[in-house]
Structure 1
Amino acid sequence: MGLLSQGSPLNWEETKKHADHVRKHGILQFLNIYNKVKERQRDVLKWGDEVEYMLVEMDDNNEKVRLVLNGKDVLEILQEKGEKINPNHPTLWRPEYGSYMIEGTPGQPYGGTMSEFNTVEDNMGKRRREAASVLNKNETLLTVTSFPSTLTRNIRHRRGEKVAINVPIFKDKNTPSPFVETFPEDDGEAARAALPDHIYMDAMGFGMGNCCLQVTFQACSISEARYLYDQLATFCPIVMALSAASPFYRGFVSDIDCRWGVISASVDDRTREERGLEPLKNNKFRINKSRYDSIDSYLSCCGEKYNDIELTIDEDINKQLLDAGIDKLLAQHIAHLFIRDPLSLFQEKIHLDDENESDHFENLQSTNWQTMRFKPPPPNSDIGWRVEFRPMEVQLTDFENSAYVVFIVLLTRVILSYKLDFLIPLSKVDENMKVAQKRNAVQEGMFYFRKDAFKGCNPVLDPPSTAQNGVESEAKDGEEFTLMSIDTIINGKEGVFHGLIPMLNCYLENMEVDVDTRCTILNYLKLIKKRASGELMTMAKWMREFAAKHPQYKQDSVITDKINYDLLHNLLETNTNSKEKGKNEIASYDPFKFA
């Protein structure tokens, strides 16, 4: 989630008084870090994943599932039994946004050897067992992105009104048209904000209460980190669609498969002035996006020519950074992050040592929740420059989550080894983000993607022809990108695009990998391949089909308590049965086998 501190939280009015102080000292803290480690080289590859879990109670007597709001207690027990006894404990546990959520990571980062890929799933399994062991009777934890049934302060106070999240309803045979909700206890605000044919939500928890899967990489230098940041940004919508797992919100079937836009709206603290609805009077900037959204600028010199979307920056901060020797691309990136206000501030954290602390910088850095995050080293640490890949939806099983993690890590190795270039105009990445969230985007969506990733490099593979047979294309002769299906992007198509899986397989053939590890990796890639081709359903599609076949479903887009109970019970049982069948068996599961 980002920076999480303990202390005495200030309300919005008190926080607002210190906003300029936080920005001023946040920039000084960044400059101090940058100047100390800008020349740092040869850091080794380290990486780690973050899995977010929901705590739920299965009420078998009443056939209902409830969220369990004791995440704080569970977290304390896990930490007491783990890291507080043994600093080298194989798992780490951290708080998440909701009191029904916890986050688990490996105790130590993984390294650069291929054999590390063979330990990811085992570590995830250890986390799941550890957490399950401290839960009460009838309680369990699930890795589901969005809780299907019904479910902060400073966000609302800064914005000046409630957040308004409107998600298009899935129009089934018996769904009212128009679909219009009534809110019995509404004072009129919900009725004004809710759109026809949309599911309406009005609280931060509906977004930030969703779970995700993230991966962080340490690069060998700042330049490599910036290069990876840019290259991976183009994959964010592709992998998000591949991992789609959240079709239900507040007890209704939506017409989207991914959580991203819901979270974006849930933490959109922009005022009416900043959103362009009223003339600027009390605010400094028009801001085009929520603070939870896709990235707004590339950071590497290769990416500069593709920065084609409007970037709002604080000119004074930008000048300060340029005068301090920061290059244009990095300066505007930081100056863009710092157009925001701090959302959370603790009384004990106002006055800090800018030479040795970075809380003010992280206050803004970590509350710009973008698809990618560029992460400077913490002060006085042996940690290097890092990038975080953030768009993935969490999957049901440890096997699936491991597959997505290993796929992304391998992709970074191939990009760096072959010096590949997947950059396209950033405006096209934004368009891809919109497509990726649509229902069944993995099968039906068309995504802008670079036709030749080897151009200007020294490829190990022979680049494919740039002929466009079988591809829906808006590209003109000489353009570097075109519209492709995810199947083409992942699996390749002769005469169109080589395919990411063939690239990864070629890389593996040139690496020394033990038989067991190679088998594990190939099983992971098999899952990704099948998801892209449609042979294996995404979790979102599986959930839709389960609900559609449920005897209580009335084709009215409503998820009842009984449907919710049976769905989550089925997910839990499927996960249990997959573990009993042995490692990697879930790769070919029938979604209705255990119904």
Structure 2
Amino acid sequence: MGLLSQGSPLNWEETKKYADHIRKHGIIQFLNIYNKVKDRQKDVLKWGDEVEYMLVELDDVDEKVRLSLNSGDVLETLQEQGEKINPNHPTLWRPEYGNYMIEGTPGQPYGGTMSEFNTVEGNMGKRRQEASSVLNPNETLCTITSFPRLGCPGFTKPECTPTPVEKGMSKSLFVPDEVINRHPRFSNLTRNIRHRRGEKVVINVPIFKDKCTPSPFVEVFPEDDGEAARAALPDHIYMDAMCFGMGNCCLQVTFQACSIDEARYLYDQLATFCPIVMALSAASPFYRGYVSDIDCRWGVISASVDDRTQEERGLKPLKTDKYRIFKSRYDSIDSYLSSCGEKYNDIDLTIDKEINEQLLSAGIDKLLAQHIAHLFIRDPLSIFKEKIHLDDENESDHFENLQSTNWQTMRFKPPPPNSDIGWRVEFRPMEVQLTDFENAAYVVFVVLLTRVILSYKLDFLIPLSKVDKNMKVAQERNAVQEGMFYFRKDIFKGCNPVLDGTSSSAQNGLETDGGNEEYTLMSIDTIINGKEGVFQGLIPILNCYLENMEVDVDTRCTILNYLKLIKKRASGELMTMAKWMREFVAAHPQYKQDSVITDKINYDLFRKCDRIAKGEEQCPELIGNPVNKFK
């Protein structure tokens, strides 16, 4: 989760005194990095995945499942047994927001050969096995995006009590501070987001209206001082803490490009896929013990870290704040970075004009300058006393302070100072899947997409406002089957100003959907599998690419197995995790069609998930019948 400095964290009042200092030196640090590596070429393709895991305890006596708050001890043991004694250990472990979460990555990045795809699932299996081996009895490791009863009474082990009226980090009605990772960055972020905002964060998720769900669905909160009553919406599940978002698990992939230009091109092209792949990976339909009417965590996590004041959110006229800011700092991207994308930048971009001018004067081009100047309208949220005065020539903590707390669908990552790492992009919207097979399938699918995009010089760009609309659709219940997404029709035309027309005329043509020649509304089935006369489909394009590559039989079989999962998820032949979880709850004998997930339902769900993840039980409706050579 971004920068993890050590030291003494400053509270918000102290932090904001240094905000301008951090921004000023962050820009200097960025310029120093840029000037050293802007002409760097021919970096080899490297890439890696990040999987976030939950630690849970399955209590067979009480038939309850609880989040196990011992990730610190687990992490320390894993690092002591792994990277600290062997720098080439095949797995790396890092902390995450929740005190019940850990993040695992391959010990070394994967390379550019096709045979690397054959090792991804095996490495994920090593991670699962390694972490599972150091857990306590009755504990297990889960790759489930959202814990269904997070925020319900007794959801942690050991059991802890929320402290909404006492001094604390989140002051949540539902979530005790003990669920936050013990590293000071995480609790400091929680407290400073709340203080900067001027109130607790507000998350309202529409509840799924089943036959016996109260209508209107309205909750009463006994410990409420009035803030929840004002914030909670009827027919919505109300949540009030950063943990409800940042306490979810996800699956991410980072790519090293051969140059800054290639990184910018990939950043733009992959941005259009973020909502598509998010809907395909939908896995989080339950929140705070209720069945929701959404399938993805994105809007929840966005609201959970929304530190904007009322003025910045447009609820009051600007008086003390500088900007009207249209999105949370956790949201979709706001501007393309490549020259191909410039004409599709149709979202109003709020930028720090002084920083923008400084970057332009230093030789940064318009698109990259406005991207950085947009990130830097935010304040730093977590500063450590020992990290205020730095060597700007050789350190990048101030730049990363703001870069790593702009949590967007894509992240453009300059190389760290004085390293052999190249320009990178990070693909961030995916929900984590139940099994290593599924997680490997989604990762390989996205990596293959990047290879095809670069090899065939494909162009998937559409106006960014349409990508934003796609992001909203992607989170809706059963969006894979029912959602319609804006998608480009002719992806082989490439970025050619002569073919595309002038920026102004193309932009005028993009304002209306009717008769538009560049993009249209498509189902995910059409986007992934193709439809005659509409779009050729990504899977057929990937298959064509594979046929033209020298791939050994074993690797080809592995890849085709993964693509079959993606293909069947898109067509509806296989369920998404979100749909499968919904159907499990709906069929449970204790479910009363009232949108409530009881302890017993949750326990039975996790028991089944654990057996499936360990390969002890088949689940053909979710993953088909893949050949598992890694067992």
So what's the TM-score if we normalise by structure 1?
0.92
| C-alpha deviation, 1:307, in angstroms | 0.2
TM-superposition CA deviations, 1:435-468 (whole Å, max 9, x none): 0000000000000000010114799999xx9999
* 1:263 aligned counterpart, secondary structure: helix
- The alpha carbon displacement at 1:508 in A equals 0.2
1:75-474 alignment, distance < 5 Å: 75-148=75-148, 152-456=190-494, 474=513
Secondary structure of 1:264's partner?
A: helix
- Match of 1:467, SS state, is helix
Give CA deviations for 1:390-437 in whole Å, capped at 9, x if unaligned: 000000000000000000000000000000000000000000000000
- The structure-2 alpha-carbon separation of the partners of 1:278 and 1:468, relative to structure 1 and needing over 3 Å to count, comes to closer
> Is the 8 Å Cα contact of residues 257 and 424 (structure 2) preserved in structure 1?
yes
What is the deviation of 1:175?
Answer: 0.5
Q: List per-residue Cα deviations over 1:28-72 (Å, max 9, x = no partner).
A: 000000000000000000000000000000011000001011111
Q: Is the 8 A contact 2:251 2:428 kept in 1?
A: yes
Q: Return the offset for 1:198.
A: 0.2
Query: Which piece of structure 1 moves more, 212-221 or 5-14?
Result: 5-14
SS in 1 for 2:505: coil
Change (3 A) 1:313 1:594: closer
Instruction: Say if 1:428 and 1:469 are closer, same or farther in 2 by CA, change over 3 A.
Output: closer
Q: Deviations over 1:252-289 (max 9, x none)?
A: 00000000000000000000000011111111000000
What's the counterpart of residue 34 of structure 1? 34
- Do the aligned partners of 1:121 and 1:402 also contact (CA within 8 Å) in 2? yes
Q: Matched residues in 2 for 1:543 and 1:487: separation?
A: 21
Structure 2: gaps spanning 5 or more residues: 149-188, 606-628
5+ residue gaps, structure 1: 568-592
2:340 aligns to what SS in structure 1? coil
In the alignment of these two chains, the number of paired residues is 563
Seen in structure 2, the aligned counterparts of structure 1 residues 234 and 471 have a Cα distance that, compared at 3 Å, is: closer
| Counterpart contact for 2:343–2:507, Cα < 8 Å | no
Tell me the SS of whatever aligns to 2:499.
Answer: coil
SS at match of 1:448: strand
C-alpha distance in 2 between matches for 1:469 and 1:206:
41
Note if contact 2:340-2:495 (Cα within 8 Å) is conserved in structure 1. no
CA 1:15/1:472 → structure 2, altered by over 3 Å: closer, same or farther? Answer: closer
Distance 1:374 1:342, change over 3 A: same
Counterparts in 2 of 1:461 and 1:288: CA distance versus 1, 3 Å: closer
C-alpha distance 314-114 of structure 1, shift in aligned 2 (>3 A)? same
Relative to structure 1, the CA distance from residue 457 to residue 326 in structure 2 (aligned partners, 3 Å threshold; closer, same or farther) is: closer
CA distance 1:302–1:458, shift in 2 (3 Å):
closer
> Using the alignment, how far apart are the partners of 1:344 and 1:212 within structure 2?
23
CA contact (8 A) 1:443 1:534 kept: yes
Instruction: Tell me if structure 2 keeps the 8 A contact 1:199–1:252.
Output: yes
The answer to whether the 8 Å contact 2:463/2:510 transfers is no
Question: How big is each residue's C-alpha offset from its partner over 1:112-132, in whole Å with a ceiling of 9 and x where there is no partner?
Answer: 000000000000000000000
Offset of 1:471 from its aligned partner? 18
Amino-acid identity (%): 90
Per-residue Cα deviation, 1:482-503 (whole angstroms, up to 9, x for no partner): 0000000000011110100000
Change in 2 beyond 3 A, CA 1:89/1:189: same
Structure 2 vs 1, CA of residues 265 and 514 (structure 1 numbering), >3 Å: closer, same or farther?
Answer: same
Give 1:300 shift. Answer: 0.1
Task: Judge conservation of contact 2:280–2:569 (CA < 8 Å) in 1.
Answer: yes
Range that drifts further, 181-190 or 441-450: 181-190
In the alignment, the residues of structure 2 paired with residue 399 and residue 218 of structure 1 have an alpha-carbon distance, to the nearest angstrom, of 24
Task: Say if 1:467 and 1:495, in contact at 8 Å, map to a contact too.
Answer: no
**CA deviation after TM superposition for structure 1 residue 479, in Å:** 2.4
User: In structure 2, do the counterparts of structure 1 residues 470 and 43 end up closer, same or farther at CA, with 3 Å as the change threshold?
Assistant: closer
Deviation string 1:322-368 (CA, Å, 9 cap, x unpaired) is: 00000000000000000000111111111100000000000000000
SS in 2 for 1:469: helix
Q: Is the 8 A contact 1:466 1:496 kept in 2?
A: no
Shift of the 336–468 alpha-carbon distance from structure 1 to 2, 3 Å rule, reads: closer
Would the alpha carbon gap of residues 470 and 152 (structure 1) be closer, same or farther in structure 2, given more than 3 Å must change? closer
Distance 2:521 2:81 in 1: 51
Distance 1:468 1:59, change over 3 A: farther
Change over 3 Å in CA distance of 1:594–1:328 after alignment to 2? closer
Partner of 2:495: helix, strand, or coil?
Answer: coil
TM-score relative to the length of structure 2 = 0.87
| Pair 472,560 (structure 1): closer, same or farther in 2 beyond 3 Å | farther
In the TM superposition, what is the alpha-carbon distance from 1:9 to its structure 2 partner? 1.0
**Cα contact 2:344–2:507 (8 A) shared by 1:** no
Asked if structure 2 preserves the Cα contact closer than 8 Å seen for 1:53 and 1:142, the reply is yes
Note closer, same or farther for the CA distance 1:102–1:541 as it changes in structure 2 (3 Å cut). Answer: same
What root-mean-square deviation, in Å, do the aligned CA atoms of Structure 1 and Structure 2 show? 3.5
Q: CA contact under 8 A between 2:49 and 2:252: conserved in structure 1?
A: yes
Cα offsets for 1:560-583 (capped at 9, x unmatched): 11110011xxxxxxxxxxxxxxxx
Q: Structure 1 359/321 Cα, relative in aligned 2: closer, same or farther at 3 Å? A: same
Change (3 A) 1:534 1:467: farther
Distance in 1 of aligned mates of 2:363 and 2:511: 45
